[in-house]
Amino acid sequence: MNILVTGATGFIGSHTCVSLLEEGHNVIAFDNFYNSKESVIDKIKLLSGKSFVFYNADMTDSEALEKIFSENDVDCVIHFAGYKAVGESVQIPLSYYENNIYGTLCLLNVMKAHNVKRIIFSSSATVYGNPASLPIKEDFPLTATNPYGRTKLMIEEILRDLWISDNEWSIILLRYFNPVGAHKSGLLCEDPKGIPNNLMPRLLDVAFGKMPHITVFGDDYNTKDGTGVRDYIHVVDLAYGHVKAVDFAMNNKCVEAINLGTGIGYSVFDLINTLNKVNNINVPYKICPRRPGDIDACYADPTKAKELLGWSAVLTLEDMCKDAYEASKKARNDF
Ligand code: UFG
């Protein structure tokens, strides 16, 4: 199949391109390198042993999108492109709405004009807000607490309305939990610009001496050791979930939200201890007050992904910590 990938050089996009190419799909990709590097294109080619068409394009540029759809026969779109920093979204909400919402509308309009009616959308567990119970199922109430989360929720709603207007569409809303890890080769990894917000990239900055210690945001949560619990998922597992979602979209006309998580909750201390153990390091930490907006615990019920897509995560927290560490080491040495 011919799969168009938006945001193809980002963390999840790049791993998904490798997975799609390995599975025999043709990839047509674009990115504007807002939060990624051009060198990722060659790394995807190297790892998959395959070539693919790439455009340096911005999704808010309808003319650029029109050119891509005119030059390629697209069967399905996987839509990763978007701004994703929660804190930043509170500071510059209009940029988030313009890029994420307007950009997605541009994409959908061009898809419609070219009669391309299959889309896999990169949503997030953030749409569940603070869940009333755990594990989280797809039919739980949806809410958003910041502009970033609202863009995810709004795009989900736009896509649901689109399906109601035309049942010929195949729309899969993939709700990711906490993606970490990296490709085994160490060539692809999470490479955020500036100071990272998320736990794993911050832990790696501490491990490699860029920060003196990790700040543990609260040890008084209602969890087994008082620190926040999340469903960390290896990015390679997550990438393969997209391949399975493409298969499903090729064979079903529907709008379906599907959790991509392991179903296992690990605490901040679990992550620190595992990272230390598998890499034989000792990351210093300090307990600090809670980060505003953080919730006690969040983990998926992954049953629907297994039933509908035949997908479940197979890689462990040890794999995530080992692969993330090795890739980060390589990225820092190569720089
Ligand atoms: N944490 C720390 N110290 C840090 C960073 C994080 O203790 O320096 C803790 C947080 O309090 C939380 C856990 O580590 O308990 C995970 O925090 P992350 O920032 O890594 O991830 P979040 O769960 O807060 O958010 C992530 C993504 C969001 C997405 C959400 C979906 O960043 O984009 O998962 O559930 F919306």
Between the CA of 88 and the centroid of ligand 1 the distance, in Å, is 14
Pocket of ligand 1 (CB under 6 A): 84, 86, 124-126, 177-178, 197-199, 202, 214-217, 228, 230, 268, 291, 294, 298
- From the CA of 268, give the closest atom in ligand 1: 14
* Alpha carbon distance 99, 167 (integer Å): 27
Between the CA of 291 and the centroid of ligand 1 the distance, in Å, is 9
Question: Would residue 221 show up in a list of annotated catalytic residues for this protein?
Answer: no
pLDDT at res. 192: 76
Residue 89: φ, ψ to 5°: -65, -25
Nearest CA to ligand 1 atom 14: 199
Between the CA of 177 and the centroid of ligand 1 the distance, in Å, is 10
Residue-level pLDDT, tens digit, the chain, 335 residues = 999 999 999 999 999 999 999 999 999 999 999 999 999 999 999 999 999 999 999 999 999 999 999 999 999 999 999 999 998 999 999 999 999 999 999 999 999 999 999 999 999 999 999 999 999 999 999 999 999 999 999 999 999 999 999 999 999 999 999 999 999 999 998 987 778 989 999 999 999 999 999 999 999 999 999 999 999 999 999 999 999 999 999 999 999 999 999 999 999 999 999 999 999 999 999 999 999 989 999 999 999 999 999 999 999 999 999 999 999 999 988 75
* Alpha carbon distance 104, 64 (integer Å): 14
* Alpha carbon distance 300, 189 (integer Å): 24
pLDDT at res. 194: 78
Contact 324, 180 (CB under 8 A): yes
* Alpha carbon distance 293, 107 (integer Å): 31
Parse the chain into domains and list their residue ranges: 2-180+232-262+302-309
pLDDT at res. 120: 98
Nearest CA to ligand 1 atom 11: 217
Of 96, 148, 221, 325, the catalytic one is 148
Least Cα distance to 264 among 318, 309, 207, 222 occurs for 318
Between the CA of 199 and the centroid of ligand 1 the distance, in Å, is 6
Helix (H) or strand (E) holding 275: helix 268-279
Query: Architecture of domain 2-180+232-262+302-309 in CATH?
Result: 3-Layer(aba) Sandwich (3.40)
pLDDT at res. 241: 98
Least Cα distance to 270 among 319, 318, 234 occurs for 318
